[in-house]
Chain A
Amino acid sequence: MRNLFFLLPFKTGVLLGCILICRLSPVNAQPATGVVRGLISDNTGPLPGATVQIVGTQTGGVADANGRYRLTVAPGTYTLAATFVGYARKEVKSVNVSAATERVVDIQLGAGEGNQLQEVTVSYGRQRRREITGSVATLDASLLQDMPVQQFAQQLQGKIAGVSVQQSSGQPGRGVDFRIRGAASFYSDNQPLFVVDGLPLTGSINNINPNEIESFSVLKDASATALYGSRAANGVVLITTKHAKAGDAKIEFNASYGVQKLPDNRAPNVMNAQQYATFMNERYQDIRRYENPSAVTPAEYENPAQYGAGTNWYKLLTRAAPIQNYDLTVQSATEKSSSTALFGYQEQQGVLINTGTRLFSGRLNKDLSIVGGRVKLGFGLAPSYRIDHNNRLATDGVGGLFERIFEASPLKAPLNADGSYNRDTYSPGMVAYINPLAQFNLTNDDYKTTRILGNAFLNYDVVKGLQLKLNAGIDKGNEIRHYYQSGVVSSTVNNPNGTSSATDNGSYTAEGYLDYTLDFRTDHHLNLLAGYSAQKFTQESNTLSGLGFPNDDITYLTAATSVTGSSNYTAYSLLSTLVRLNYSFKERYLLQGAFRRDGSSRFGTNRQYGNFPSLSAGWIVSDEPFMKRFRQINFLKLRTSYGITGNNFFGNYVAQSTTSNYYYNFNNVITQGTTIGNLGNPNLRWERSRQFDLGFELTLLNSRLNLTYDYYFKNTDGLIQSRPLPTSSGFTSILDNVGALAFWGHEITLNTVNVSRPDFRWNSSFNVSFDRNRIKALVDPGYIRRNNTVTSDYFRNQVGHQLGEFYGFVFEGLYRDAADLDASAKYQATATAPNGLSDIGTIKVKDINGDGVIDDVNDRTFIGKPTPTFTGGFSNNLTYKKFDLSISTAFSVGGQLLNAAKWAYQTNLDGSRVPLAAAADRWRSLDSPGSGVYPRTKTGTTGLGRSVNSQWLENASYFTVKNIALGYTFGLSDRSALKGVRLYASVQQALVLTGYSGMNPEINFAGQDATLGLKVDENAYPIPRTFAVGLSATFK
């Protein structure tokens, strides 16, 4: 634990003096014979130095190094008040003190409300909140436990300013992305670095059970993250797992069960059988009328009235799915040792049929203090096992399973009369897609992932003030995949295929550092940290594919008649030295400098080392004498920082030219060829971010109102991109440092205690951030487009523009009549075909270059921006007597969304897919022009409808009630082993208010990777609403 006397030398004398005075000078004339004693703590442990006062008397005292106090007072009934800098004052009423026995009153001071002396986890250590000079946001995980979710990322949505967590897909156990301060990189990862109990993770975060987590620290600015050097540019999330506190001996059991369901009102309203048959019937009428008088309507469409609703594929393929979580936590701790054991089981079935995930997890944390506290050591071990069933299939995006729902005809039944699957569920004119129900049910894709996280530490007090710290960690993972697709649904019929693959990966981290603390001349406090860190990651993998299965009975490769495969190995290493110096004067003026030097195996041989310095300063204004006048201000700190961090999240050997194998045949024998396949770049370096941060923290009104503000500006240069090369070079790309990006923004967090009465308490937390970005430089030609195919070239990253700005044609309605067609530019018009692909009733777009012809190259432009004006969250926690209620919300205002799913897929008027019911209202003739939104079905003219135009853009603003949880805590007698029982009911994704017409306004077909496109809806797995009930019980 902490030692305040040690850390607060200048106060020590004063406080000790106070204790002496209190103890030695009873002011009451009556003999003091009664005793009140107890422990003062906050949610993280004892609070040495906290003051206890008996209200209305002069009797008081200060908690000792273990947080314990002891007061003597005349028998009677008193009110006790505990105070501590940075905490709200707390009173305990009706304390009866008798002469006979000592009265024990433990007081816990509230956490979170500006408790500036609380220690929080920062990079390479812990620090009192008031001394932090960087931008660090912390979150107590106990406030998040009512959410029926399986990924801790989901709990953090809307909770922290500047931290965007978005659920871009509802795939069970997947699809949540982090982005801190809009971090973006063209090639490298955008995810922050995750550090669990000091160990930087090298594997996925999906296997971490949220219940293992005690708190989060999110490091946002360069001074907070700089010690993580070349991995820090995207920010760092420090996760502290649960450790038992001295005095604990308890068992906690948590259970929740819920049902997830897709909100019906957001499902796309697709034509039913009768509507589709009518649409196709009319389509053939129009072909006869305008194009080919002899065209024959297929028999299926001749009499649409014969059909009813037909098959509702959406209903067939989706379901209400259960989700459940069970956790058992066993904790015990004494002064010298502490242990925590956790076991969890989570299960989530998907709302798309035949998908789901299960996670078994455990964690054991053990800490020990020996040699009179001079040596502290401990370890943590967290094994987990996850089974993913069909939740990594390409359900999202183009060709994904979710899109398939709209590619089956409502006229067709999913099953044949004999109960077997009808493979061909397309109607005449539709593309020959395969029965999606059969695809969902006859494809098996299981991943079994075993993961072990382990860490150990040893802290040794060499001499007073000098501590040696050693840390070691491992992150070991193993994953095996079993994939099989039945021949009923294989792209070539009766050609079942199977895959078996396995990956074994592991990393170790070893760190040693010295921590030296020195106080001199009373007011000067110095802390120096210097150390060395090494990390290495290796991965071996193999994959085998089999063909020629005789039937679906045996789905393992033993049944395949031909098997091919390969195996691979990859590794990276990181070697670093780090130094940090903290200096404070009068605890009021704070200065921190940090420096890390990273060597990385990933960088080019010419650029193997990088230096990452940072500098920050803080001023606790409220401690200045002149601030005494402003009595409402409890605390005010100004801080600023500047630093350089890096991003090295890219492939392992990409800086080197490596060979690949290519095959050819000579003498009728397969012959392996090998040559340079990847063009290396020896000058490749990490991306460099230079970040400036200016902020303040303000506490007002007896610590009931807390305001944090940050402004940041971040310049990232040396952006790595898989830079396209002219293919005439023989290569398609080279990894290169190609450009620069600027990010800037404002972040505001406001925490308030609205009501604080013994039986009614109401806290609110509001945060909002304004994040902006701009592309400052790029190599020729100054932009990067998504791809060369106009129909899916959704956006362009171009110098002077935001990331991911939408690019396309400008919609100008439909050609109204012959005069309008005559007077307007036409798509691909030529001398011989003056109308090109345009006609009355087809889509009209703006002739941007004014040459009278619409073409793909010159008539597209920037049409919209994905960046929201501001985003944030608003949470409220209320307790009334034994009830508690929490409501968390998240919002995003401004910015646009490109609804590609709707226009490119769901309103394809060629009849090749089943369109939205709304498309019935399309242009058919001059007398029946429809709403002007959907064009005519003329063959060949619908092509332009598949290219992005401004019609596809929608307002992306939303307000989501992420979670509402209502709980009730039962009062139980002290003698019962069961100390507390709480029941709660919770709704996740309770309400989404948005004008967006698609399924999910948070959607993004490429996660949060800005360089692959932002805010593009390409048929992602929808996010369900979850209703859950839960129970937590504590035994002591």
Chain B
Amino acid sequence: MKKTIVYTLVISLVTSACQQRFLDLAPKAAYTDNTYFQTDAQFKQAVTAAYAPLLDLMNNDFYVSEMRSDNTFYQSALANRGTALVFRENISDFKDGATNSYTAAEWQYLYQIISRANIVIARLKTASGLSAASVNSYDGQSKFLRAFAYFKLVRLFGGVPLFVEPVKDANGAFKPRATVEQVYQQIITDATDAIQELNAPAKFPQTGEATKGSATVLLADVLVTLQRWTEAETLLATLPAMGYGLQADYASAFLPANKNGKESLFEVQYLDGTTTGTTPNPLSFNFLPRSTNTTLLTGVAINNSGAGGVNTPTPDLISAYEPTDKRLDASIGITEGTYNASNLFTFQAVKSVVGYTTPPAGRVAVPYIKKYLHAPLTALTGSADNFPIYRYAEALLLLAEAQNEQGKSPLAALNAVRNRAGLLNAQAADQATMRQVILHERRVELAFENKRWYDLVRSGTAITTLNAFGEKIKAQANYLPADGRIVTPFRLLFPIPAAEVGLNPLLTQNPGY
């Protein structure tokens, strides 16, 4: 009897041990959160993953940051009223609602950056075996990315839910909105930490990672937005010592060959090709009229009929360039051709925008963004052009602004930018005039760099400028809806995506939507 009991016990022990092994299956083609975040290389990869959503972000950012301004509009697509097209137009026309999918995508990718940064920041706190240099680098890059994302969010949507720890379960995913002040506080803390932890570029061209310079200009931009001029000026003054400077000529600042060069403070990194993980930049041909064949401009037979026809430079912007400004020809081109009844363009000629008047009979002329288009492209999927987030030229203009607002002369910084564009020095003027001069300089220098909407809002000129512009552009493009381009104060903030509000009872919608 005793023997039986012993045998039974032994057998049940053995089988229960087997049982556990039999049922504990971990994936072999991926890590789990228990097995990852052990080595330096794994943390480096986790930081890389936090950069990745920038690529998706740039595919949406120009809708909310550039097309909502007087810099660009869209080409007619009246033959197709599918929501994919209508939603794009709605943002530009100030007719967008909370269900707009491009606003929702902007929101989602910004928060994806934040979430991945949160994972790194939290895991670093308990990591062992990493050098102090690694911890500083990974924490600093993550905090830069988190600050960058929240800075965009707070300007687009106002006070947003503030996630600074990784979400671990369903309950942790539902948060109410923080106040605008709380969000800015977090941005400043993160950017300050990042400046502390990151190094200045070790060499030019840089790697493409965020540096002390990136964090510095980001914080300066935040401080300028908050009108903390003195602090901004102090910060911006540290940049030249890090090796930054202007490229000799404006157009070359955007050449793929000059990626991450001395003018670059931070840019989104693209590569062309078709190998796994390659992310070519599709924007250059999406900014062309919708067509089944863009060869004339891109050098390869790209069909951009789905995503094209957006971010077309406005006549208003073209006329904003001073007569000898080299930046006009570097930024904008004109293409001639014809539209068919399906709103598809046939490219027939490429012309310089400088001095361009009217197209020959039977053709239409469409301006396009030339700055990021370096034909011939090597693949149908896109180019190797990086997308600038901060250039040294902008740092100079931020400095000029901070100086002007403190009653100091902004001319040195301002004229450095103007001279590079082939323009004469700006003359000294009173503070208010100079404020307009700097705003105008930002418009042409930073055209299509997704700055214009924020500049208009923070300068308090968005409503008057854009309403006046709306009247003009509606007269120029008869396909624009008559009730569009009417800007009322509530439109200075975008609606919180309806799906978020619908899902999360703690969230409140912005007024007016």
CB within 8 Å of B: which residues of A?
Answer: 292, 298, 424, 426-432, 491-495, 534, 536, 547-548, 562, 564-573, 575, 599-601, 608, 652-653, 656-677, 679-681, 723-732, 734, 736, 779-781, 785, 788-791, 828, 830, 832-833, 836, 855-857, 910-912, 939-940, 942-943, 946
Q: B500, A666: Cβ atoms under 8 Å?
A: no
Chain B residue nearest to A600 in the complex (CB): B23
- For B486, the chain A residues whose CB sits under 8 A away are 832
Given contacts A428-B341, A567-B29, contact A940 B81 (CB under 8 A): yes
Chain A residue nearest to B499 in the complex (CB): A788
Known: A679-B167, A730-B115. 18 other contacts (CB 8 A): A662-B53, A667-B208, A668-B384, A670-B276, A670-B278, A673-B49, A675-B45, A676-B119, A725-B503, A726-B507, A727-B104, A727-B108, A728-B500, A731-B173, A736-B170, A781-B505, A791-B83, A833-B481
Q: List the 3 closest pairs (A to B, CB-CB), nearest first.
A: A730-B115, A833-B483, A673-B48
Measured CB to CB, the closest approach of chain A to B436, in angstroms, equals: 29
Interface hub of A428, A571, A652, A662 (most chain B Cβ within 10 A):
A662
Q: B478, A292: Cβ atoms under 8 Å?
A: yes
Given contacts A600-B23, A659-B36, contact A781 B78 (CB under 8 A): no
Name the contact of A601 in the complex, choosing from B23, B303, B340 (C-beta under 8 A).
Answer: B23
Name the contact of A657 in the complex, choosing from B23, B33, B163 (C-beta under 8 A).
Answer: B33
Q: A942, B292: Cβ atoms under 8 Å?
A: no
Measured CB to CB, the closest approach of chain B to A1003, in angstroms, equals: 23
Measured CB to CB, the closest approach of chain A to B108, in angstroms, equals: 4
- For B208, the chain A residues whose CB sits under 8 A away are 665-668
Q: A599, B19: Cβ atoms under 8 Å?
A: yes
Query: How many angstroms from the CA of A672 to the CA of B293 in the assembled complex?
Result: 33
Name the contact of A573 in the complex, choosing from B22, B97, B160, B173 (C-beta under 8 A).
Answer: B22
- For B30, the chain A residues whose CB sits under 8 A away are 653, 658-660, 677
Q: A676, B341: Cβ atoms under 8 Å?
A: no
Q: 26 A-B Cβ contacts within 8 A?
A: A431-B342, A432-B342, A492-B303, A493-B292, A536-B22, A564-B276, A653-B27, A656-B33, A657-B32, A663-B278, A668-B271, A670-B271, A674-B36, A674-B48, A675-B49, A725-B173, A727-B104, A727-B112, A727-B497, A728-B111, A728-B161, A729-B163, A730-B116, A912-B80, A940-B81, A946-B81
Query: How many angstroms from the CA of A952 to the CA of B45 in the assembled complex?
Result: 50
Q: A673, B46: Cβ atoms under 8 Å?
A: yes
Given contacts A731-B167, A734-B169, contact A665 B269 (CB under 8 A): yes
Chain A residue nearest to B343 in the complex (CB): A429
Chain B residue nearest to A732 in the complex (CB): B108
Q: B169, A681: Cβ atoms under 8 Å?
A: yes
Q: A674, B31: Cβ atoms under 8 Å?
A: yes
- For A726, the chain B residues whose CB sits under 8 A away are 161, 173-175, 500, 503-504, 507
Given contacts A662-B48, A664-B55, A679-B167, contact A730 B118 (CB under 8 A): yes
Chain A residue nearest to B18 in the complex (CB): A575
Measured CB to CB, the closest approach of chain B to A972, in angstroms, equals: 57
Q: A673, B50: Cβ atoms under 8 Å?
A: yes
Q: A575, B271: Cβ atoms under 8 Å?
A: no
Q: B483, A781: Cβ atoms under 8 Å?
A: no
Query: How many angstroms from the CA of A656 to the CA of B276 in the assembled complex?
Result: 26
B502 within 8 A of A: yes
Given contacts A570-B29, A724-B503, contact A666 B342 (CB under 8 A): no
Q: B51, A727: Cβ atoms under 8 Å?
A: no
Q: A681, B170: Cβ atoms under 8 Å?
A: yes
Q: B301, A494: Cβ atoms under 8 Å?
A: yes
Name the contact of B114 in the complex, choosing from A491, A564, A730, A942 (C-beta under 8 A).
Answer: A730
The secondary-structure label for the interface of chain B is: loop
Q: A568, B167: Cβ atoms under 8 Å?
A: no
Q: B79, A575: Cβ atoms under 8 Å?
A: no
Q: B48, A672: Cβ atoms under 8 Å?
A: yes
Q: A534, B22: Cβ atoms under 8 Å?
A: yes
CB within 8 Å of A: which residues of B?
Answer: 19, 22-33, 36, 42, 45-55, 78-81, 83, 86, 95, 97-99, 101, 104, 107-108, 111-112, 114-116, 118-120, 160-161, 163, 166-170, 172-175, 207-209, 259, 269-271, 273-279, 292-293, 301-303, 305, 340-342, 344, 380, 384, 478, 481-483, 486, 497-500, 502-505, 507
Q: B52, A428: Cβ atoms under 8 Å?
A: no
Q: A653, B160: Cβ atoms under 8 Å?
A: no
- For A666, the chain B residues whose CB sits under 8 A away are 48, 207-209, 269
Query: How many angstroms from the CA of A791 to the CA of B486 in the assembled complex?
Result: 26
Interface hub of B30, B78, B270, B507 (most chain A Cβ within 10 A):
B30
Q: A572, B101: Cβ atoms under 8 Å?
A: no
- For A571, the chain B residues whose CB sits under 8 A away are 25, 28
Q: B344, A432: Cβ atoms under 8 Å?
A: yes
- For A668, the chain B residues whose CB sits under 8 A away are 208, 259, 269, 271, 384
Q: A940, B342: Cβ atoms under 8 Å?
A: no
Given contacts A667-B208, A789-B101, contact A569 B81 (CB under 8 A): no
Name the contact of B24 in the complex, choosing from A429, A601, A789 (C-beta under 8 A).
Answer: A601
Query: How many angstroms from the CA of A362 to the CA of B39 in the assembled complex?
Result: 53
Name the contact of A575 in the complex, choosing from B22, B120, B163 (C-beta under 8 A).
Answer: B22
Q: A676, B503: Cβ atoms under 8 Å?
A: no
Q: A857, B33: Cβ atoms under 8 Å?
A: no
- For A856, the chain B residues whose CB sits under 8 A away are 97, 99
Q: A833, B269: Cβ atoms under 8 Å?
A: no
Q: A573, B23: Cβ atoms under 8 Å?
A: yes
Measured CB to CB, the closest approach of chain A to B97, in angstroms, equals: 7
Measured CB to CB, the closest approach of chain B to A702, in angstroms, equals: 55
Query: How many angstroms from the CA of A666 to the CA of B163 in the assembled complex?
Result: 27
Interface hub of B79, B97, B278, B293 (most chain A Cβ within 10 A):
B79
- For A731, the chain B residues whose CB sits under 8 A away are 115, 167, 173
Q: A673, B292: Cβ atoms under 8 Å?
A: no
Q: B500, A662: Cβ atoms under 8 Å?
A: no
Q: B52, A673: Cβ atoms under 8 Å?
A: yes
Measured CB to CB, the closest approach of chain A to B167, in angstroms, equals: 4
Query: How many angstroms from the CA of A677 to the CA of B50 in the assembled complex?
Result: 11
Q: A656, B498: Cβ atoms under 8 Å?
A: no
Q: A729, B341: Cβ atoms under 8 Å?
A: no
- For A725, the chain B residues whose CB sits under 8 A away are 167, 170, 173, 503
Q: A675, B46: Cβ atoms under 8 Å?
A: yes
- For B160, the chain A residues whose CB sits under 8 A away are 728
Query: How many angstroms from the CA of A661 to the CA of B120 in the assembled complex?
Result: 15
Interface hub of B27, B99, B498 (most chain A Cβ within 10 A):
B27
Measured CB to CB, the closest approach of chain A to B293, in angstroms, equals: 7
Q: B207, A663: Cβ atoms under 8 Å?
A: no
Query: How many angstroms from the CA of A574 to the CA of B478 in the assembled complex?
Result: 66
Query: How many angstroms from the CA of A491 to the CA of B305 in the assembled complex?
Result: 10
Given contacts A567-B29, A857-B498, contact A662 B170 (CB under 8 A): no
Q: A780, B505: Cβ atoms under 8 Å?
A: yes
Chain B residue nearest to A431 in the complex (CB): B80
Measured CB to CB, the closest approach of chain A to B499, in angstroms, equals: 5
Query: How many angstroms from the CA of A912 to the CA of B341 in the assembled complex?
Result: 10
Q: A672, B173: Cβ atoms under 8 Å?
A: no
Interface hub of B271, B497, B503 (most chain A Cβ within 10 A):
B503
Measured CB to CB, the closest approach of chain A to B49, in angstroms, equals: 3
Q: B482, A833: Cβ atoms under 8 Å?
A: yes
- For B305, the chain A residues whose CB sits under 8 A away are 432
Query: How many angstroms from the CA of A736 to the CA of B174 in the assembled complex?
Result: 15
Q: B302, A492: Cβ atoms under 8 Å?
A: yes
Name the contact of A910 in the complex, choosing from B81, B271, B340, B499 (C-beta under 8 A).
Answer: B81
- For A912, the chain B residues whose CB sits under 8 A away are 79-81, 342
Given contacts A492-B302, A674-B36, A730-B167, contact A940 B23 (CB under 8 A): no
- For B172, the chain A residues whose CB sits under 8 A away are 729
Q: B52, A601: Cβ atoms under 8 Å?
A: no
Q: B25, A727: Cβ atoms under 8 Å?
A: no
Measured CB to CB, the closest approach of chain B to A292, in angstroms, equals: 7
- For B278, the chain A residues whose CB sits under 8 A away are 663, 670
Q: B279, A664: Cβ atoms under 8 Å?
A: yes
Q: B99, A672: Cβ atoms under 8 Å?
A: no
Chain A residue nearest to B15 in the complex (CB): A532
Measured CB to CB, the closest approach of chain B to A383, in angstroms, equals: 28
Q: B174, A547: Cβ atoms under 8 Å?
A: no
